[in-house]
Amino acid sequence: MNGSSNWESLQFGQQKKKSKMMFAQEDDIKMWNFIAENYQMYGPFEIFTRMKEILEFEHAEKSLYYRFRNILAPNLHFTNFDVETKLKIAKKFNLVLNADFIQELNKSWDLIFDAAGCVEEFSWKSLTDSKGRKRISSEDFANGNSKKFKSSFPEMEDYQAPNTSTDASFYQNLQKIISNTIETANRALIEELKSQKTEIVVSSKPTTSNGLKHYLNGLRGLVNHFESSELADITKRIDSLEKNLDDSEKPLPISHIRAMLDFGLKTIGGKYQTEHCLKNNCDKSSKGVTAASLQQARSFKYTVNRSAQ
């Protein structure tokens, strides 16, 4: 009996000791928090020695290190840290980022990778960028092309955004402005354009008139926000249309409205066109409507919910 009892005690003791050496979920959380708070203070190996001492882990430093490298690090993109902290940790410990995470980062960050595919440098993308600067994007690395030159927003290289060229939040604010302006464009007006072939008489279409005025007001606000001399022409177009709207007896040519909508949407987004132009292939000689703009528009979808008939 004593022998059996001792054997059971020995088995229980071994199991208990083994369970202590396993990592629990709270251990992983403590490790992540410690790394996020101290990665700038200690070296990539020293930090695990300090982690063991301060958090009183029973695991060896090597166990903590391999736990981080093999289990935690591949899930860096799932953590709640801000993007910049994630990138700094990846750079500090020479981590290879998740491919989907890299693709998402490329929308707003410039990433440079070393030969092993680890993050070497990173910075916010800006609307203006120095020409000829050599960059290695994630696509270059994946394709084995390390000699490709890349500039951010090449179609806007010559555009100088006033006082915001280095503002990290400018691009996000611009997207919000574009979305708000598009949403305020009157849907009933676009439905009207689909069914009209000649002209719209403003006096008999009060809803259309109000809708167009709302659109023009939104577009004017966008132009004023940019405060750019390059957009002076669109201001003149807005003034001209508003003058026509004030004359209730004067018919408003459908081509004039269509050209204004096309020019306005193309200006504020560079990639939005009216659904009418996409489906009916507007006259390419109209102001603001070009073969290039139509071709560009076909790559995107500007969805318009139908108004009640």
- Mind giving me the DSSP string for 151-174? -SSGGGTT---TTTTT-TTHHHHH
Q: What pLDDT does residue 294 have?
A: 38
Separation between Cα atoms, residue 123 and residue 13, nearest integer Å = 53
pLDDT < 50 stretches in the chain: 1-19, 128-166, 168, 186, 188, 200-209, 269-309
Q: What pLDDT does residue 283 have?
A: 43
- DSSP class of 186: -
Give the phi and the psi of residue 77 in degrees, each rounded to 5: -70, -15
Cβ neighbours of residue 5 closer than 8 Å, sequence gap 6 or more: none
Q: What pLDDT does residue 117 have?
A: 86
Contact 266, 258 (CB under 8 A): no
Look up the pTM and report it. 0.38
Pairing status of strand 251-253 against strand 199-201: antiparallel
Q: What pLDDT does residue 151 have?
A: 34
Pairing status of strand 199-201 against strand 119-124: unpaired
Q: What pLDDT does residue 129 have?
A: 46
Separation between Cα atoms, residue 83 and residue 3, nearest integer Å = 59
Closest to 297 measured CA to CA, from 277, 283, 282, 280:
277
Q: What pLDDT does residue 53 have?
A: 92
Q: What pLDDT does residue 115 have?
A: 85
The residue to which tokens 């000689």 are assigned: 285
Q: What pLDDT does residue 125 have?
A: 78
The number of angstroms, rounded, from the C-alpha of 91 to the middle of its chain's C-alpha atoms is: 22
Helix (H) or strand (E) holding 245: helix 232-246
Q: What pLDDT does residue 177 have?
A: 63
